[in-house]
Amino acid sequence: MIIDLRSDTVTKPTPGMLDAMFSAVVGDDVLGEDPTITALENKLATMFGKEAGLFCPSGTMTNQIAVKVHTQPGEEIIMHKLSHVYYYEGGGIMMNSGASVCLLEGDRGRITAQDVLDHINADDIHRPPTVMVEVENTMNKGGGAVYDNDNLAEISQICHTHGLKFHLDGARIFNALTVTGQKTEDCGKLFDSISICLSKGLGAPVGSVLIGKRDFITKARRVRKVFGGGMRQAGYLAAAGIYALDNHVERLKEDHLKAQQLSNVLETLPWVEKVYECHTNIVLFCVKAPYTAISVVKKLEEAGLYGIDFDKKTVRLVTHLDVTDDMLIEAINILKKF
């Protein structure tokens, strides 16, 4: 048995999802004629109280489009130094938008309202104008850490007061909402734009949706075409997204429970130095010397448990839709026998 906990992106479409995909009504979306894509865009926009949405091939694209629309070359974005949009998107902020970044520290990848306030550049010709703030919820590099809603509300207020755009990388926003219980409409109110991944915990094969005001999405649609992300009969993929929203949101708590169980076991193991408090479906732990993250990942892999080394000492395991109860039991056995 192989238990693949490298990422929640490794899931395969379920039979129900495949049925939904096969029966999708499609058209040429670049011409605005794919009813399934339009339905998905409207569904997510409505859920979060936004005016419009844009279906894209990846979360990298939705994030990069948001940066492109919200900034002009030379302007600055405040974010955590480990945020996906900066750390994992190949320098796209600079390459696509020519924007500057102000990189903050912060507990498990989360920034605070005070820190944002302290880093807004004054109107001074020496400094790049601050125009945007970006947060990630849940925070991947922080081990699926969830933001405190009050802190987000404060940052949102600061952005409003200072005329800054506020973007949420919500690749795993439904994991966060599962924990905080915040309603999607209340979450939507805090941000100018939100990127939501369908291919992470929601279990769709491809796709992310960017949502925001209508004029923002109109500009975003133009940028998507320039970035090469205009797709034709991609309603087959959007159908998987709609199915995921209808069937795979409620069950995210099962992934969180499984991650918590793994975390509890790891706490008891002598070769584990530290386990980060488990918030959602991501488990992060540090290994004791002489082990390294790479050596542990390799040894676990030989036993059939796949994870990834996050840095020299840290291993990441992610639970998801395709992890059965039997797989969890076996994963725990493998960890205990290590």
Ligand X SMILES: *Cc1c(COP(=O)(O)O)cnc(C)c1O
Sites of contact with ligand X (CB under 6 A)? 58-60, 63, 84, 136, 140, 169, 171, 197, 199-200, 208
Q: Cα 259 from chain centroid?
A: 17
Q: Measured from the CB of residue 208, what is the shortest distance to ligand X in angstroms?
A: 6
CB closer to ligand X, 54 vs 120: 54
Closest residue to ligand X, Cβ-based? 59
Cβ atoms within 10 A of the Cβ of 278, count?
A: 26
Residue carrying structure tokens 């990298």:
60
Minimum Å gap between C-beta 1 and ligand X is 26
- What pairing do the DSSP bridges indicate for beta strands 193-197 and 165-170? parallel
Cβ proximity to ligand X, 190 vs 265, nearer residue? 190
d(CA 99, CA 26) in angstroms, rounded, equals 37
Residue closer to ligand X by CB (options 87, 338) is 87
Q: Tell the smallest beta-carbon distance from residue 211 to ligand X (Å).
A: 15
Three-state DSSP class for residue 105:
coil
- Toward ligand X, which CB reaches closer, 120 or 168? 168
- Considering beta carbons, is residue 169 or 335 the nearer one to ligand X? 169
Edge-first strand listing for the sheet containing 130-136: 52-56, 208-212, 193-197, 165-170, 130-136, 76-80, 100-104
> Which helix (H) or strand (E) element contains residue 40?
helix 35-47
Nearer to ligand X, 143 or 272 (CB): 143
DSSP E strands, the chain = 3-4, 52-56, 76-80, 100-104, 130-136, 165-170, 193-197, 208-212, 272-275, 282-287, 305-306, 308-309, 314-318
Using DSSP bridges, classify how beta strands 76-80 and 130-136 pair: parallel, antiparallel or unpaired.
parallel
Least gap, CB of 242 to ligand X (angstroms): 18
Closest CA relative to residue 234, chosen from 55, 16, 10: 55
Closest distance of CB 89 from ligand X, Å = 7
Bridge partner list, 275: 285
Closest approach of Cβ 136 to ligand X, in Å?
5
- The CB-of-39 to ligand X minimum distance in angstroms stands at 21
Give whichever of 12 and 127 is closer to ligand X, judged by the CB atom: 12
Nearer of residues 170 and 335 to ligand X, judged by Cβ: 170
CA atoms within 13 A on the CB side of 220: 27
Question: In the bound complex, what is the minimum distance in angstroms from residue 110's beta carbon to ligand X?
Answer: 12
